[in-house]
Amino acid sequence: MATTTSELVFSPQANHNFSRILSDLKRSNLSISNRLRSIREDADFVSEVASAFSRPLIANERCGSWYIPPANKAGSAYFKSTDGHTGQWRFSTRRLNLNLLGIIGANDGCIIVDSTRRGKRMPDALSKTVPIWCCVLNHVLFPETPVFHELYTPPNTVSRSEHAQIEARIPEHVASLKELDINVDALRRELKKPLRPMWVTQESQLLPTDHVFDDFHAVICCTSSRRVLGGEMSEGGYIQGAGDDTENWALGLTPPVFWRHEDILLSTPEADLPDLVRSLVANAVTDVNASRPREIAPSLFVSCLPLVDSPDSSSTCIVTIYSKTTDSSTWVKSPSLMEVGIGKHKLASRNLRLALLNINDFVRRFLERESDSNSSLEHPDPSSSDKKRVLIACETGKDLSVGVALALLCQNFDSEGNLKPNIQPAGHTKNDIRIKLSRIMTAFPEANPSRATLQSVNSYLMG
């Protein structure tokens, strides 16, 4: 008698093998070579958008930089998708992105490039976070012109209900920006017109134009990847948002290294790619300009490790922060050099809170010693305060070093960069800290202190 389909029984081992085969197929489709080819394909589209709109390309970090060759990249932005998530709808006072205003004003707009995961039409950073940013800035920079205050969101992505809920929260965002006491007049001089977001995807029809929008500066939000509704296996190797989640696939590869070695990376078989990538990363030439200290406040600098130059120890107090854990009794190497080992990642951020007391005492002693030596001179050098510097360095130059600099700025310096007569005891308010942080982020937009780092700084400063 013939066996019916319903009577067929697959063994548990067969089911396990089938699941493993599907996992292997998915993993092979998400290979490094497929990701790099997808990035290259999407970068061609971004280039077409730049030609069509004749405006500079801005990478929304970290993902956006993969889709722009470094020679074509005019700047970076940091608009987080989480700030645009449903129910969040935040205006970040930590990520002000005010560095974009000069670029926008000089070029009658810009193109912000980002991508998103499979299935989404565009990232929340472009559909909601950027529109919130444009609307809030228009309120603050053009308060006398209510017609400029309208919120614009893409109707094919943001529902009317969500749009209304976002709009209802604009006043509180405007108030939070005003609390930072930024120089509105200086920012207003950067722009001739208000900001208005526009959206471009691979579904858009691009027509070459050098059109000037008479009533606004266009902030063109470009989603680089095409939308994939099914599984990756149906796309012939194409991966939507291939440049995202680099910690899971890139093996240390960065956009500059990719674009510098694009041809060989795209022509190398998958089996040989991991070794090639590791070799290219190990031999990558350090960007000297990126490694140079950045002044984030008067007399206060941050840098990444290793330090390119050896600053003058008589005029510069150096604090270096390393990812190995060391005993605090070994940190002080000389009156002007401190090497702090607090571990890495979240452990480092937790250890930072306790380390800040030692770091602040060390820096304070250096500054007071230099101040005393200058005051003892018969004819003090009025410019000596300009010669005293504090340099904080960590592996990235953007996270822990920025957190330490923020704590030192709040504890030791006034708004003009002068040394405070006495250390202010713990008891800073969140708003005081937020104002200082916003000034750092304005001076150094690439800074990226983690939430854990800032929590440790707040705990230290607020007692």
Q: Which residue has the tokens 């005029």?
A: 315
The residues spanned by each domain of the chain are 28-245, 251-285, 291-374+384-462
Q: How confident is the model at residue 349 (pLDDT cuts 50, 70, 90)?
A: confident
The C-alpha atoms of residue 342 and residue 387 are separated, in whole angstroms, by: 29
More confident residue, 60 or 6: 60
Q: Residues 72-126: pLDDT tens digits?
A: 999 999 999 999 999 999 999 988 999 999 999 999 999 999 999 878 999 999 9
pLDDT at 3 over 80: no
More confident residue, 407 or 248: 407
Residue 26, Cβ neighbours under 10 Å: how many? 12
More confident residue, 235 or 61: 61
pLDDT of amino acid 13: 63
Cis geometry, peptide bond prior to residue 143 (ω within 30 degrees of 0): no
Q: Residues 236-295: pLDDT tens digits?
A: 789 999 998 888 899 999 999 999 999 999 999 999 999 999 999 988 866 655 678 999
The C-alpha atoms of residue 418 and residue 416 are separated, in whole angstroms, by: 6
Give the pLDDT mean for 373-389: 53
pLDDT of amino acid 415: 72
pLDDT of amino acid 284: 81
Question: Residue 337 corresponds to which tokens in the numbers above?
Answer: 């050099």
pLDDT at 446 over 90: no
pLDDT at 387 over 50: yes
Coil, strand or helix at 105 = helix
pLDDT of amino acid 229: 81
pLDDT at 426 over 90: no
With vertex at residue 315, the alpha carbon angle to CA 313 and CA 318, rounded to the nearest 5 degrees, is 55
Dihedral, CA atoms, 368, 373, 379, 383, nearest 10 degrees? -50
Q: DSSP labels for 426-460? A: S---HHHHHHHHHHHHHH-TT----HHHHHHHHHH
Q: Residues 21-43: pLDDT tens digits?
A: 444 445 556 789 999 999 999 99
pLDDT at 339 over 90: yes
* Residue whose C-alpha is closest to residue 403's, from 363, 355, 367, 362: 355
pLDDT of amino acid 190: 94
pTM of the model: 0.84
pLDDT of amino acid 385: 44
CATH class name, domain 291-374+384-462: alpha beta
**What whole-number percentage of the chain has pLDDT above 70?**
85
Question: Residue 60 corresponds to which tokens in the numbers above?
Answer: 């929304």
Q: Residues 127-160: pLDDT tens digits?
A: 999 999 999 999 999 999 999 999 999 999 999 9
